[in-house]
Structure 1
Amino acid sequence: MLEIREEIRASKGYQVLIEMLDSYFGQDYIIRKITYDDLDPTSFDFRLSVDFPKLKGVDVGIANSGPRQMFRMGGDGDISIGIPKIDGLGMLTSGERGDGLFWILGDKKLEWGGQVNKAEEVKYYFDAFKKYYDNL
């Protein structure tokens, strides 16, 4: 399990995700948990449970990263964010109910997250999340 966590931290997706969190929130967040599906050898997706000062238990992660072999060679995937919401339809890594940023904001451009290898998509996605967060 430690090896998988090290691979996650070394991945392009994780590095882009941390770069965005640092860029938008400085050091004002805490990663509580990293989860991944170790039962499915074809997937190397992961989720982080992140606490911010005004919002706890946010899911931030990579989906559609492809098989582990692709991931090791720099497979990208899509960054997505799930936000705790009392009447949310999904279950977040934190154990709370929540919905994706797309559902909460209703912005069609956010539906599939931001592709890790497309800086403008990731920026648009995090701009939307930061605007939502600042208005809490």
Structure 2
Amino acid sequence: MDNQQLIEMLPPVTEANRDFWEGTLAGELRLQYGDSGTPRFPESPVDPVTLGTDFEWRAAGGRATLWSWIVMHQKYFPAFADEVPYLVAFVQLEEGPYLMTTLVDPPENLQCGMPLEVVFEQVSEDRAIPKFKVVTP
């Protein structure tokens, strides 16, 4: 994979999401919490329950459940051209929010509901992306 092309595809680091990206570099998956205590991802300027504007970022537990996935066979994105076919996963974090990601070393027989844990791939000096791996009993 061409890391430069991947980095260009990532959302820019802004004041609104800086804590999330700093967390990935520190090996933490961080979620935003507002007045209601409801975790959210992606970030939002207001709490979805109270519409309050005060929030903080907290480290998530890093556990998730595989909700769904697809295998991409087309070369939609040049950054992934060398990896076709590749897997795109939709996971639900233990805390509730959903996240699009990929799985590291996925087993041949994936099943919805499989337990996962976060891992981080550092793609540049200042960016790491969260990925997940299946938790083996």
Q: Given the two structures, how large is their TM-score scaled by the length of structure 1?
A: 0.27
Q: Given the two structures, how large is their TM-score scaled by the length of structure 2?
A: 0.27
Tell me which protein shows more helix as a share of its residues: 1
Tell me which protein shows more strand as a share of its residues: 2
Structure with more relative contact order (C-alpha pairs < 8 Å, separation 6 or more)? 2
